[in-house]
């Protein structure tokens, strides 16, 4: 059975041609128009199948469709193919690898620039003993129906271990349709997790990433513009009438990701939310117009040789980029690209050391035939140059 909203092309195009189309500011598939080609979105008529939608949604959501167009040959295969997974946060707990991803589903919601079609409702945690080994899907670890404050859209999560407990951090929209970040706890790295009654006070936007430093202090990095709504927050206050994209001020500093020190119990912030500066080699903050380098979403922090590496997605230009600093609060000096664009609109990652080697976990949409909201988590080795910079990774064969 084919998934709903399967994209069909009347003409096969190359990946390079499609990448060019992806960089158009009109990002939704429904808005693409180009000479010599008709792009159509094939979707079931939802008005005629609403009565069957609830009964069939779970099966349809995880059905893997065959690719419909010519795609590049990937260097890595999905960790699992039974379900769609994305936004991987990888960790090593008790010498075992755990991946905390989003669980992509087909909910039939039309695509838009706010990400409404990313309508995830639960989390599945993956585990494996080694890279390349058997991967286990441990089932549902947390469902949105068990989160009292959440309304919809359980996006990219992260996890941490401290105080003999495992903590799952997750963004979701509240009952007023505004993103905040929640936390749930468990005695097992695979759950089930029990959510706190409300979201973390002072939290907002999306993509939490929790980093514990060598001194034992933990920090949460978060934020995302456009659908993540970070552009609507100023001084901890939300402007419902704010921009749908960014500040709209190209010659001013770009919107900054956020960081906050975590409390000892890992359930709240113990310090103020601070803005992170990403700067160029001259120390100047990256500008709003610098779409190839400025922050969009997908924060991640890791430490290598005593320095702090803050990595992130550039969003509408589809790179995973990074900066290096000497403090967990930054500033971080831009260094370059870790991962080039992948099949699908989004790019999201994590970086972890496993048995003396470093790995990049990421996702793409090859398995679903480039349906951007149906992605699959992958992993590849990450390598450093002698000067500490990271070699750029291309996920596909030329």
Residues annotated as part of the active site: 87, 297
Which residues are bridge partners to 297 per DSSP? 313
Give the DSSP per-residue string, 325-385.
ESSTT--EEEEEEEE---SSS----EEEEETTEEEEEEEESTTTTS-TTS-EEEEEEE-B-
Peptide linkage before 331 cis (omega within 30 of 0): yes
Structure tokens at 272: 């103020």
d(CA 165, CA 171): 20
For residue 347, CA distances in Å to 53, 108, 239, 350 come to 30, 22, 27, 11
Kind of pairing between the strands at 6-9 and 39-42: antiparallel
Kind of pairing between the strands at 350-354 and 332-339: unpaired
Q: What angle (nearest 5°) sits at the alpha carbon of residue 303, between those of residues 302 and 307?
A: 130
Strands (E), 56-178: 84-93, 96-104, 122-128, 136-143, 150-152, 158-162, 165-174
């Amino acid at each position: 059975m084919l998934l709903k909203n399967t994209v069909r092309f009347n003409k096969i195009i190359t990946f390079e041609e499609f990448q060019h189309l992806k960089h158009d500011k009109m990002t939704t598939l429904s808005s693409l128009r180009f000479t010599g080609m008709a792009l159509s979105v094939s979707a079931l008529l939802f008005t005629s199948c609403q009565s069957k939608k609830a009964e069939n949604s779970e099966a349809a959501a995880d059905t893997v469709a065959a690719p419909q167009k010519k795609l590049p040959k990937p260097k890595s295969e999905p960790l699992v193919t039974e379900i769609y997974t994305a936004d991987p946060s990888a960790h090593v707990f008790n010498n075992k690898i755990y991946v905390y991803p989003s669980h992509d589903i087909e909910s039939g919601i039309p695509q838009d620039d706010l990400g409404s079609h990313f309508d995830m409702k639960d989390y599945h945690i993956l585990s494996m003993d080694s890279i390349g080994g058997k991967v286990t899907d441990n089932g549902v670890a947390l469902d949105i129906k068990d989160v009292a404050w959440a309304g919809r859209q359980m996006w990219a999560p992260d996890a941490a271990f401290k105080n003999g407990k495992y903590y799952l951090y997750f963004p979701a929209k509240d009952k007023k349709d505004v993103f905040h970040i929640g936390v749930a706890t468990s005695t097992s790295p695979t759950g089930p997790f029990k959510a706190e009654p409300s979201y973390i006070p002072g939290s907002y936007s999306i993509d939490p990433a929790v980093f514990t430093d060598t001194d034992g202090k933990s920090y949460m990095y978060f934020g995302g513009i456009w659908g993540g709504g970070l552009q609507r927050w100023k001084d901890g206050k939300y402007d419902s009438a704010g921009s749908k994209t960014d500040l709209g001020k190209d010659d001013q500093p770009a919107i900054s990701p956020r960081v906050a020190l975590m409390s000892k119990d890992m359930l709240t912030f113990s310090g103020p939310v601070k803005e992170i500066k990403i700067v160029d080699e001259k120390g100047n903050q990256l500008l709003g117009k610098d779409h190839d380098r400025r922050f969009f979403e997908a924060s991640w922090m890791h430490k290598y040789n005593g320095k702090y590496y803050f990595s992130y997605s550039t969003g509408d230009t589809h790179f995973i980029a990074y900066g290096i600093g000497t403090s967990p609060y930054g500033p971080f000096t831009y260094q370059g690209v870790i991962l080039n664009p992948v099949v699908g609109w989004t790019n999201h990652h994590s970086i972890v050391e496993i048995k003396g080697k470093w790995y990049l976990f990421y996702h793409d949409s090859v398995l679903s035939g480039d349906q951007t909201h149906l992605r699959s988590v992958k992993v590849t080795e990450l390598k450093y140059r002698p000067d500490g910079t990271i070699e750029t990774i291309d996920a596909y064969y030329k």
